[in-house]
Amino acid sequence: MVLELKLRKVGNSVGLVLPKEALAHLKADEGDTLVFSESPDGGYRVTPNNDPFAQQMAMAEGIAQRYRNALRELAK
């Protein structure tokens, strides 16, 4: 699938407009997070952010933030 995408000004930034076909292929919707990563061939990939590791790390960061004082005491 080859799609032509448009860049549009959004405030002080530039946004990428994804057509319905691309959103359906990615199984994404408005408000979802997509990951833009460099591929080995020098191009870029856009994938949905459903990585279980990223979700687990986000939960771990929340726990570390919540219990930072207790963790600091345990580290002594």
Q: pTM (2 decimals)?
A: 0.54
C-alpha triplet 44, 31, 48: angle, nearest 5°: 35
Which residues lie closer than 8 Å to 54 by C-beta, 6 or more apart? Answer: none
- Give residue 53's pLDDT: 76
pLDDT tens for 43-72 read: 988 888 777 777 788 889 999 999 999 999
pLDDT tens for 14-43 read: 998 888 988 999 888 888 888 888 888 989
Contact (Cβ atoms closer than 8 angstroms) between residue 32 and residue 42: no
